Structure 1
Amino acid sequence: MITVLGSYNRDIYIILDHFPLIGETVFVKEIRQYHGGKGSNQAVSARRLGSNVAFIGAVGDDQYGIEALDFWKNEGVIINKVKIKKGYPTGTAYILLNEKGESQIIVNRGANALLNVSDIANSLHGDILLTQLEINDDVVSYALKSFSGIKILNPAPASLSDFNILSYVDILTPNEIEIHELVQSDDIISGAQQLLNKIKRAVIITLGENGALIVLKDRSIRIEAPKVDVIDETGAGDVFNAALATYIEKGYNIEEATKLAVYIASYSVTIMGALGPKLEEVKPFLEEKGIDII
């Protein structure tokens, strides 16, 4: 089982022709709403790929929170450890999306900011822990120290206050921006090698349309991404992390799991929304690219 610890946000998409410059007013073409938050995105995306997934997070006692609980139940995610914070709003993300599929995101953390260590005590079970940094650092730190299986940390946003917790991480998955924020190095391989002084197994840097770079203690491996027509890149990193955790749990080695994660994340940007595809949806795409999956 994969346990995902993290955030839930109601994603409010604001569709524009272009992002406004400072002082510029632009008209909205359309507004859409989806379920989001890095933790929820990763949990649901992993579940859609066939994993058994438990989600640990917090929502408010408002309509968004009620709808989130119903959504997870319908997706088959285990949610008995989700906390409802009475009197507080559910997290909300405002996503500006331009005609190129590029996004800018503003987040009101809401109930996510209230998740505490006592909320997750005795809840950390499974084969893989997947977590991020949209919840409080002390909660993430406690989880990484307490969990006994494989631990994957997606350092997003890259606001790590205690670098010592990296020594409890098996796999770190920053993007290019995040690795530059974590280490003072212009070279991402050099930066990853610095992090490997603490990280147990690997640093996997996601590179968007350029795929991913796996940096191990003795070598690095480049995984190229397939060319696709981008519609919405929001959530591609979440889909990558979900697929990575899914296929590591299924017994794939780190290179095989990363390649699958890159291809599934690439497919995900061809559709709207921050959630990953179901296995039956993405399988023809993978087969077309010559990739067989269990």
Structure 2
Amino acid sequence: MITVVGSYNVDIILKVNKIPEIGETVIADEVYINHGGKGSNQAVSAARLGSNVRLIAAVGSDTYGYNAISFWKSEKIDTSYVTTKNVSTGTAYIFVDKNGRNIIVVNRGANYYLSEEDLDKGLSGDILLTQLEIREEVVKKALREFNGIKILNPAPAILKDTDILSFADIITPNEIEFKELVSTDDIEYGLHMLLKKVKKAVIITLGDRGALLATKSGKRVLIPAPKVNVIDETGAGDVFNAALAVYLERGYNIESAVEYANKIAALSVTKMGALGPKLEEVNKFLEELEKEEN
């Protein structure tokens, strides 16, 4: 069982020729409304890869919230610990340019009201996956009280209480989040700082360059990602984290789990939207990669 503690947002995606500058107005070529939020994205992506997934999250008492719960049930996610708050459901506004690059603005809505009490009795399973689109004290309780492998995706990397890191086995920042956490461009020094706090490993996701794995024991490995035709990078980090959790749950060592996570995240950027690919798509993609490698 993978337990995800995190956020849900309605993603309003605006496909534009270019990201607007300050003061500039641009015309959207297309508009999509999808399910999103890091917690939801990671839960759905893990479930699509075949894992049993429980989601602990909060939605609003509105149509968006009702639709979210129905959607999770259709994806075979355990929604027993999803709570409904008397506020609006979280919303994210995502601008995606013709090269697949994006900027995102989030209104947290119900995500802000997910409480420590909402976690009670739900913190069980083999893997915990959590992020920072909910309140820090909720994340801290989840990491402190969960008994399995604990993965923290520090996104967004705005931490008032850095002690949270000491409760995580693995953290998975991207390059920007890594620099925000350590306030330095010196990667080795930054890794040293983080590994003094984290229990097992730091994984820096590097987009099309793959991921850098650094462990407490001193291992440093740059694990490449396959080259693909990028359509939309939105949610690639969430797919990576979900796949990492799935392969760790299956008993793979951390290096192998990162290799699979890189491949599945690469597949995810070849289509629009933040949700991960389904298992049959993944199996086909992995078979094609294996043929290319041989």
For Structure 1 versus Structure 2, the TM-score category normalised by the shorter chain is: over 0.9
Query: Could you tell me which residue of structure 1 aligns to residue 28 of structure 2?
Result: 28
Contact 1:230-1:270 within 8 A present in 2 as well:
yes
Q: In the TM superposition, what are the counterparts of 1:40-55 in structure 2 within 5 Å? A: 40-55=40-55
Query: Could you tell me which residue of structure 1 aligns to residue 203 of structure 2?
Result: 204
Query: Could you tell me which residue of structure 2 aligns to residue 71 of structure 1?
Result: 71
| C-alpha distance in structure 2 between counterparts of 1:268 and 1:189, whole Å | 29
Q: Partner amino acid for 1:250?
A: R
- Displacement after TM superposition at 1:157 (Å): 0.2
Q: In the TM superposition, what are the counterparts of 1:59-208 in structure 2 within 5 Å? A: 59-86=59-86, 88-208=87-207
Contact 1:206-1:237 within 8 A present in 2 as well:
yes
Unaligned runs of 5+ in 1: none
| Percent of pairs with identical residues | 61
- Displacement after TM superposition at 1:23 (Å): 1.6
- Displacement after TM superposition at 1:255 (Å): 0.5
What is the DSSP-based 3-state SS (H/G/I as helix, E as strand, rest coil) of the residue aligned with 1:57? strand
Which shifted more, 118-127 or 151-160?
A: 118-127
What is the DSSP-based 3-state SS (H/G/I as helix, E as strand, rest coil) of the residue aligned with 1:289? helix
| C-alpha distance in structure 2 between counterparts of 1:52 and 1:127, whole Å | 10
| C-alpha distance in structure 2 between counterparts of 1:216 and 1:237, whole Å | 20
1:242-287: CA deviation from partner (whole Å, max 9, x where unpaired):
0000000000000000000000000000011101001111111111
What is the DSSP-based 3-state SS (H/G/I as helix, E as strand, rest coil) of the residue aligned with 2:154? coil
- Displacement after TM superposition at 1:231 (Å): 0.4
Unaligned runs of 5+ in 2: none
- Displacement after TM superposition at 1:188 (Å): 2.0
- Structure richer in strand, relative to its length: 2
* Residue 242 (structure 1) aligned with residue 242 (structure 2): yes
Q: CA RMSD in A?
A: 0.9
Which shifted more, 161-170 or 102-111?
A: 161-170
What is the DSSP-based 3-state SS (H/G/I as helix, E as strand, rest coil) of the residue aligned with 1:29? strand
What is the DSSP-based 3-state SS (H/G/I as helix, E as strand, rest coil) of the residue aligned with 2:199? coil
What is the DSSP-based 3-state SS (H/G/I as helix, E as strand, rest coil) of the residue aligned with 2:78? coil
Query: Could you tell me which residue of structure 2 aligns to residue 213 of structure 1?
Result: 212
Query: Could you tell me which residue of structure 2 aligns to residue 259 of structure 1?
Result: 259
Segments ≥4 residues shifted beyond 6 Å? none
Contact 1:193-1:215 within 8 A present in 2 as well:
no
1:184-234: CA deviation from partner (whole Å, max 9, x where unpaired):
221223212210001111000000010000001212011011110000000
| C-alpha distance in structure 2 between counterparts of 1:102 and 1:59, whole Å | 28
What is the DSSP-based 3-state SS (H/G/I as helix, E as strand, rest coil) of the residue aligned with 1:195? helix
Q: Partner amino acid for 1:110?
A: G
1:22-58: CA deviation from partner (whole Å, max 9, x where unpaired):
2211111111111000000000000000000000000
Contact 1:59-1:90 within 8 A present in 2 as well:
yes
| C-alpha distance in structure 2 between counterparts of 1:26 and 1:166, whole Å | 40
| C-alpha distance in structure 1 between counterparts of 2:196 and 2:24, whole Å | 46
Q: Partner amino acid for 2:210?
A: G
Query: Could you tell me which residue of structure 1 aligns to residue 11 of structure 2?
Result: 11
Q: Partner amino acid for 1:192?
A: L
| C-alpha distance in structure 1 between counterparts of 2:125 and 2:219, whole Å | 30
Q: What is the TM-score when the length of structure 1 is the normalising length?
A: 0.97
What is the DSSP-based 3-state SS (H/G/I as helix, E as strand, rest coil) of the residue aligned with 2:41? helix
What is the DSSP-based 3-state SS (H/G/I as helix, E as strand, rest coil) of the residue aligned with 2:122? coil
Q: Number of matched residues?
A: 290
Q: Partner amino acid for 2:43?
A: A
Contact 1:240-1:262 within 8 A present in 2 as well:
yes
Query: Could you tell me which residue of structure 1 aligns to residue 57 of structure 2?
Result: 57
